[in-house]
Structure 1
Amino acid sequence: MEPLDTNATLLIIDMQQGMNHTKLGRRNNPDAELQMQSLLGAWRQSQRPVIHVRHISRSPDSVFWPGQPGCEFQPALQPLGHEHVVEKNVPDAFTATGLERWLHVRSIRQLVIVGVITNNSVEATARSGGNLGFDVIVVADACYTFDQTDLAGRVWPAEDVHALSLSNLAMDYARVIETAEILTAGCKDLCALSASAT
């Protein structure tokens, strides 16, 4: 893997307390949050930009309806005061949020995407980012999803939904890699941080 840009931006999608609600069902990748925390720590130490995306639902029965605890960021992934927060109402973080302009003003062209849900907001945002000309990297083990019922009523395991979503992205929209590759081969400063943490 080539070194990351010095201003490569970590985009953390929808890591809100509502993602832990039982009504969302069974998920895959139980260590995803640990991978996200590892990347977030490395980004902060290397002083690269971090963006936190928060979903604000338009549906009153959603775990992300405004004013509910589900809207709040998970404690381990809380934004710092200087980190940019984007609020969205649809899966795609680029839609009606000003995100594209924010990135262009800062000459940012490389996005490293983590978060949830792999086949929904992560995929939608990565597709838009790729279509808009950004160099998009999706970190496979720092994302997760839930079991999905298709239109015929068949239940697909979260592991399969996750794998197919990432495969779709890898065709045309993004590079799909693992956390370890970012930390050990992405760039010198992140590699040094990874080595000092072990």
Structure 2
Amino acid sequence: MLKALLIIDMQNFVVDRIEQGVQYYPENCIENMKRVLDQFRQAGKPVVHVRHQSLEKESIFHESSLLSLPLASFEELADEPVFIKSTSSAFSSTELLSYLQTARISELVVIGAVAGFCVNSTVRMGADLGLKITVVKDAVISFELGQYELGAAQIHNVTLALLDADFASVIACSQLLVN
């Protein structure tokens, strides 16, 4: 059973939201994501990137938008595959599952953005497909939903509790064993 790191949607829109003052949680999540990525690379373990893209030219996720580009710290290396998705789940609109099966990867460690949206959808679908999934709770980011009066920490905690209840193992960055 091979284990791989799955990095979801670490694109410029994440930092843009933070710079606009959108509340996010946990505060150290991006640093923790970098630590997890470094651990996988140093151990020579597979790293897989997923990015969101839209065909709508006005969308921040359109390929022409700077906000759709990967954050510099999360750009892929030459041997790291990138899957471009147009749906919330990384499995719905990509060949991710086929790649994982061919590479004999059956366990994913998930980090990235955004916990209540693409991370949630990807983890649930991956579990339904029979993959063993670990979510690093302090290496995924949540944003507030102000129009619903829901804070980032509240969304984060509920989302990860639901994932931990039935779809994944949810651990802290300090508990991660890459090997």
- TM-score, with length taken from structure 1: 0.84
The match for 1:80 among 77, 80, 85 is 77
What code does the residue aligned with 1:38 have? R
Q: Which residue is 1:175 aligned to?
A: 169
Q: Alignment length, in residue pairs? A: 177
Q: Which whole-Å CA distance do the structure 2 matches of 1:96 and 1:90 have between them?
A: 6
Q: Which residue is 2:145 aligned to?
A: 148
Q: How far does residue 30 in structure 1 lie from its aligned partner after superposition?
A: 2.0
What code does the residue aligned with 2:120 have? E
Q: Which whole-Å CA distance do the structure 1 matches of 2:4 and 2:101 have between them?
A: 12
- TM-score, with length taken from structure 2: 0.93
Q: How far does residue 58 in structure 1 lie from its aligned partner after superposition?
A: 3.6
State the Cα deviation string for residues 163-186 of structure 1 (Å, max 9, x = none): 00001111111110011100xxx2
Q: Which whole-Å CA distance do the structure 2 matches of 1:139 and 1:100 have between them?
A: 21
Q: Which residue is 1:159 aligned to?
A: 153
The match for 2:38 among 25, 38, 41 is 41
Q: Which whole-Å CA distance do the structure 2 matches of 1:124 and 1:96 have between them?
A: 12
Q: Which runs of 5+ in 1 are unaligned?
A: 190-198
The match for 1:12 among 7, 11, 19 is 7
Q: Which whole-Å CA distance do the structure 2 matches of 1:86 and 1:72 have between them?
A: 13
In our comparison, the structure showing a higher alpha carbon Rg is 1
The match for 2:54 among 57, 62, 77 is 57
Which range moved further: 35-44 or 17-26? 17-26
Q: Which whole-Å CA distance do the structure 2 matches of 1:19 and 1:101 have between them?
A: 28
Check the 8 A contact 1:115/1:142 in 2, yes or no: yes
Q: Moved runs in structure 1, 4+ residues, more than 6 A?
A: none
Residues 93, 109 of structure 1: alpha-carbon distance in 2 compared, 3 angstrom cutoff: same
Q: Which residue is 2:132 aligned to?
A: 135
What code does the residue aligned with 1:93 have? A
Q: Which runs of 5+ in 2 are unaligned?
A: none
Q: Which whole-Å CA distance do the structure 1 matches of 2:148 and 2:82 have between them?
A: 37
Q: Which whole-Å CA distance do the structure 1 matches of 2:157 and 2:141 have between them?
A: 10
Aligned-residue sequence identity (percent) comes to: 29
